[in-house]
Structure 1
């Protein structure tokens, strides 16, 4: 009934919005600068008390103006003031049109690297920051274009307190103030997008599919008002796509370059075209982007296998390489049939194909097959698709009342493309060709040490010892290797003639999520020039599905040695960078990768082997089905929200407060294995199989969030503001965290993830205080914040009781009381107060420090909060003058705790009272450089270099010298030419 009423209200609203409003006595217009629209310009009728400031799109309106002649003053920091003589007639609204202001800065005009419709300037971004009722940072199109960002995650990382996580060296996910990534809400044009990813089943959006060229402004919000979706404990980031221009715009950018580590080229092309009709009633814009680049990654992984010691089961050396292709498109239209009504629509599409290959050599001290080596190759075509849009309407019903409405719909999906079969074959996936060394000739390692069960030197000679492989920091005899120079010592190194095919497996993944309808309506009532009331309703429906499975092929030859499929029977090659593999780690692993099948040999192997292979689907008749039965689940979620708020201006104070209520209802279904067995006979009647059919389990939950907030802004003077805020926000659990039934398997990582249908949402009471100082075209801020968090969701992991397997079990739980306190500071200043050459220099820098603690059941004292980064900073030095624009930027994210090992023993409780068995993410940093030179009015050339320091991505267990995964991506270089026509 609630949904029916909401839809009816929206229908009535949209019908009303299509009516033509009545003219009013007053005036309206739009203000622009050299770079387009100017938000926050001061509009004043001389010798009266009437005035206003321009909106985000540069427009303004002054109502109830008595008839007569006036002087209209338009002013904006950094621009020449303008006076216009106007006449207001009785009963008529005076349309002034577009007013252009001239830049009065003594510094030369800044070079805009990326041309866009309504290209937002830094001055505009500063004004939007100053005029916001929340604590925000605005990144303009001009700011986005100053560094080599290929997707919007990389573009936003320079805002204060932004944590950026990478995927194959590219920016992937973002979070604010170092909090967990799923605590930050990411919006496109005000709508939170559905999520879909290969590995990450959370509500976190991955931005590799979203090119930065489609974005006009990025608004980073650290505090909330009731009209903002409240699932954002960390904050919210709104990406505003390119909007229709006020005049014709046509820009083309072309670029090309080289990925040094991959040894292959990269190139991109971007365009924007927009125009408006002569009567200015209809405008449109179309922008597109295509980016193709090669990548290469050197990686290693350590597999640890016990809850009682840090023994190493395996060392994996991995060489990743591949090609990514990203295509993005954005279209927008706006229609103004009269001065009161504005209709609009946006559409966006993003897609990325990742043709990914991997060569892997594994040294297995213990993996269920005894002491062995494996030579493995993997290939898959990863496909991500995103599309959707919205229809909007805005109607000034009267002088004091305005209605806004929007209906949006978005779809996001991930699946594997055509390998090893044609498009649409359900067996396509991430295909692993697994060759294992023969042990007909005795094979063993020489680097074991004998310790007690806990990896310690036995104090009593009669104590039974166990052979372990331990790193130097864990080896009680002091003979273990350091992680960056581990050289397994088998008694011989097998050649390609000694590896036979054990199996071929295709890890399949069909994941999608859509918001088929997201509808909202807002009403704004201006009581007077000091008090404004606002209220609204919103409804969002979500549907999603995740199906992970496996299809396998095994040789029909079994264990008969002379019939085995040997590696040397097929075309092989050394991995592409074997001679320099992991040379950043003291060169210890150069040349350590074994030769493997060529890409063409992998592509044709299954077909060429024909009847020598037998395929097995992962269904209830497969002996391994019990492992995979829980890896399929489906869900639906409906969120209904309403809010009411008021904005009051009291002298130097501006107060914005109110209440938001959100109700969440979700139904989720997952499979588990039946306890009642059945007999299945094959169609030919030759084989009978005893199997356990899957059964469904469903969770149906509903919870209500009551979320008040208050923002108070105090204007100290014209250049200084003090902003205070208190609010209550929350975080909905991710769907895999609440999944009923059997666990989800992560085959590559040897993990089983158990859902918790009783998991509670996380709530946070937030306090913020920020001082902002504006001067010239710059901004300096300093802020403090505190979050009191209840029911923080964390991941608990523990190793299998069998220390040989290397399998990790993961569970999701709510922590006790937790808190985060922090401080942040930033400065953005061009030195245009200097003279001559020196006026082109500038600096942008920010730093965030957070101290976070959580109470974990079973541990005696509070500890660091999971997924909370303590340190973040970004520093950029730049020079912008005349034809030259150059910038050097450093971005840093500190190490943080990711998952807890809370393995327990009956009668003893949790084994590890400290974090020595917990999983951490190491510090990451990148140094980027960019240079652009304007050749002419319509052309510029550029060069850029990313990841110059080749800093690794690293995870570790307890201590940095005990790595679990290390990946190096190498630097990336690009040169190109940009045309702005």
Structure 2
């Protein structure tokens, strides 16, 4: 089947090529006057000058610096590219337009980002999820875990000279960027061209915690007098002290009254035979923490002649995210007596039956308001600590002999992530009410009944201390060899061929352990007294002396003025951390991890072509790719799972080892054509078949279980890659003075799209401490089940306002708009149709700048409409991110030719980040606050 489709696509590609080139040649012949293929804008560049001098002859030399220089460089790269592309360039080393690369990329037409703790972290291109965007570092693969996407929080922008986004492929590009390929470039020593030192010293002020942190960077570059040898080394350190204040709803859980433990009569009709949907839990949270990033880059380059270039470079990133997670949670899924014989149950409820068509599993309605006795109320603190270390090495050469050029490169990267967190199951049984005064799209209001004080620590008990974390290792060996022969005369301009080999391996495992109340009482030497019978057979210790109240200022609706959390200082004063973790050391969770190996071999041929007048150009090629996978995992006996009563952790018995192999190969043809219709007016077209591989974690042969949200997740080593047959057409008009107008349309026919096969499975779980509980789980496994047609249009503009007269000299505006039309498909087999993951229908950014007299001002507003994040499988109710807009700004001043001052503000309007489920129930509302960065940049 794959070969037949490939054959059909090849024939279509060939016919399209003939028709397209024929039509454009006819258009060229019809031209009555020949236009120069070069721009009429005679701009010269002097980065060290600010004002425009006049020479002796009286002609003005136009000098471009700062942000305008960045726009000019990006336009030059876009114009000369053989493929449909966009990008951002730095005016100088250490002067990238933004501190975070993802934040810069969102200003590129058709690019959207997602954020982590207020920082841009992952990037989407033309609406497709981040896993479809391939990220490269100086042309080689860069990874950061089991995901195909790259986490940009691990990458400092200090040493980046340009970021290029290729939206259409050519045969010589490494496959995998189904949405597009992002290439992060750093300058080699001889590219800088002189011995120099660039440095930055800044302070980063976070508005929420009102704390200041340092950010410093320096790059030393050495070039010998003959400019045949160069070496550079750069070091950067950044710290952020952030505070994220959030509301989180865990999603719409559907439950049969009789299957609650104990049974619960939600509608108070006297029986337990009804099925209702309710918010599994609602939690008000605060995340004070710090992020530290240490980066090192290095490069060596030797160019003894113009025909020989040998190079090597190194990239290191050490990113650590450490903090605490304070949580005040109520769980209406868990209503029970603290002690046998105590009152519990629902005393009042309001149920919305109009939502029944949108609910799952035969629900009779959604519980919009409820009052309960014996309500699970948590006063929790979690310590979080994760560290990601990434190392990337590469070496290569370029040798030219006459018309022949041979290039080679070998590289290696390894990314290792470790995390170890711990938290406390601290519970009270409350009299409480939940309601939604502002509708389901707003956080609910949780109040407590007479006789219960949520700030009284004497009502809380500690059930356990739980440790959880994991390890992920992602490594890749890569090599390529390319040869290109240039043809001086004729329509055929070049022939190019190459080979590629990649060997990637990703391993991941979860680690957990738990110290129950009896163990904690023993370790405390009697300072924590064990109380048997509390919370059933588990027992607990009274938490009176290990809780404290905290409060935060926030604009999140109904966030409590203050609430209790575990006081870690008081707790570890009773039981030292080393004592408790020594007693229950974290161990690997059976069946949770995976070990996936992937070997890729590719070969390509590509022909470059062009007309004699230089107006027509492009390339036509085909790439053959073979991929072999090996997946190792554990398949456990799920009837042996153990859960904590009222807790959130699951213990899975040791599984049976299993190994599964996979193998697939594809031909990937591509065509890129550009034609200059008139001076500075280009039209481009592209046709291609593109391949995108499943996430490495999706290829797992193992199985994991989460009893808290009733889910079983298995991988599928037999997954086939996503395929896209796609077409692009764009028009680009290059204006003088760094101006640009462009428009594009694109189409992708996506097949082999992966969604979750989902079935229900009933298991009998063992309760730690005795007894059993019957639970109904949703079992998920990724399958190639869907196809989709994605269509879209893009428009962009960069307009210097100097056209309006001298008064506006130095002013400019820029912006872009992207429209994406994507179908709705099920998120899981048999489920309702929802929008394709990651696709926002409307995306735009708009901004303006002023640069003159050494002063630089810039502001930009980015917006993307609602999209599905694809993270909704806990209860099958979906996760959607509502429309979000963010305003950022910057100001700079060139104090001397060698020293500049700058200040940047991120999220100037303090916008909230939100998610909700498929029928508008609030899932997350998070306030990160503004971030202000200010400092000095110098170069010598």
Question: TM-score, normalising length from structure 1?
Answer: 0.76
Matches within 5 A, 1:711-722: 711-722=672-683
Which residue matches 2:543? 567
Which residue matches 2:203? 256
Which residue matches 1:98? none
Give how far 1:758 is off. 3.1
2:432·2:446 contact (CA, 8 Å) conserved in 1? no
Matches within 5 A, 1:502-901: 502-515=463-476, 517-529=477-489, 530=491, 531-556=493-518, 557=521, 558-560=530-532, 565-570=541-546, 572-575=547-550, 578-580=551-553, 583-586=554-557, 588-598=558-568, 600-601=569-570, 606-607=575-576, 615=584, 618=587, 628-650=589-611, 651=613, 652-674=615-637, 693-743=654-704, 745=706, 752-776=712-736, 777-795=738-756, 810-856=780-826, 864-899=835-870
2:856·2:892 contact (CA, 8 Å) conserved in 1? yes
2:440·2:922 contact (CA, 8 Å) conserved in 1? no
Which residue matches 2:648? none
Matches within 5 A, 1:944-959: 944-959=904-919
Which residue matches 2:368? none
1:139 corresponds to which of 88, 106, 115:
88
Which residue matches 2:221? 274
Unaligned runs of 5+ in 1: 1-51, 54-73, 83-100, 115-119, 417-428, 448-469, 474-479, 620-627, 679-689, 905-911
1:938·1:980 contact (CA, 8 Å) conserved in 2? yes
Which residue matches 1:926? 886
Which residue matches 1:240? 185
Unaligned runs of 5+ in 2: 1-35, 47-53, 256-274, 337-373, 522-529, 642-650, 764-772
Q: 1:386 to 1:499 in 2, by over 3 A?
A: same
Q: Distance in 1 between matches of 2:580 and 2:214?
A: 43
Give how far 1:646 is off. 0.2
Report how many aligned residue pairs link the two structures: 798
Give how far 1:154 is off. 1.8
In the alignment, structure 1 residue 204 sits paired with structure 2 residue 149? yes
1:146·1:887 contact (CA, 8 Å) conserved in 2? no
2:133 corresponds to which of 170, 178, 184:
184
Q: Distance in 2 between matches of 1:617 and 1:350?
A: 27
Q: 1:691 to 1:512 in 2, by over 3 A?
A: closer
Give how far 1:615 is off. 2.6
Q: Distance in 1 between matches of 2:59 and 2:79?
A: 20
1:183·1:232 contact (CA, 8 Å) conserved in 2? yes
Which residue matches 1:969? 928
Q: Distance in 2 between matches of 1:966 and 1:718?
A: 50
2:247·2:559 contact (CA, 8 Å) conserved in 1? no
Q: 1:129 to 1:612 in 2, by over 3 A?
A: closer
Which residue matches 1:393? 397
Which residue matches 2:174? 229
- C-alpha distance after superposition, 1:392-423 (max 9, x if no partner): 101113x111100001111111103xxxxxxx
Q: 1:809 to 1:929 in 2, by over 3 A?
A: farther
1:147·1:887 contact (CA, 8 Å) conserved in 2? no
Q: Distance in 1 between matches of 2:245 and 2:795?
A: 36
Q: 1:965 to 1:105 in 2, by over 3 A?
A: farther
Equivalent position SS for 2:700 = coil
Q: Distance in 1 between matches of 2:45 and 2:887?
A: 41
Q: 1:879 to 1:378 in 2, by over 3 A?
A: same
- C-alpha distance after superposition, 1:27-82 (max 9, x if no partner): xxxxxxxxxxxxxxxxxxxxxxxxx99xxxxxxxxxxxxxxxxxxxx998433699
Q: 1:744 to 1:164 in 2, by over 3 A?
A: farther
1:79·1:105 contact (CA, 8 Å) conserved in 2? no
Q: Distance in 2 between matches of 1:104 and 1:288?
A: 45
Q: Distance in 2 between matches of 1:549 and 1:758?
A: 27
Matches within 5 A, 1:250-649: 250-303=197-250, 304-306=252-254, 309-367=276-334, 371-397=375-401, 399-416=402-419, 429-437=420-428, 439=429, 443-446=430-433, 471=436, 483-491=442-450, 492-494=452-454, 495-515=456-476, 517-529=477-489, 530=491, 531-556=493-518, 557=521, 558-560=530-532, 565-570=541-546, 572-575=547-550, 578-580=551-553, 583-586=554-557, 588-598=558-568, 600-601=569-570, 606-607=575-576, 615=584, 618=587, 628-649=589-610
- C-alpha distance after superposition, 1:88-120 (max 9, x if no partner): xxxxxxxxxxxxx99999697444389xxxxx8
Equivalent position SS for 2:241 = strand
Give how far 1:436 is off. 1.1
1:899·1:919 contact (CA, 8 Å) conserved in 2? yes
- C-alpha distance after superposition, 1:794-836 (max 9, x if no partner): 3467898799989765432323331100000111222233444
Q: 1:940 to 1:510 in 2, by over 3 A?
A: same
Q: 1:743 to 1:106 in 2, by over 3 A?
A: farther
Q: Distance in 2 between matches of 1:618 and 1:104?
A: 78
Give how far 1:147 is off. 7.6
Question: TM-score, normalising length from structure 2?
Answer: 0.79
Give how far 1:616 is off. 6.7
1:743·1:755 contact (CA, 8 Å) conserved in 2? no
Q: 1:832 to 1:309 in 2, by over 3 A?
A: farther
Deviates more, 1:121-130 or 1:966-975: 121-130
CA-atom RMSD, angstroms? 3.5
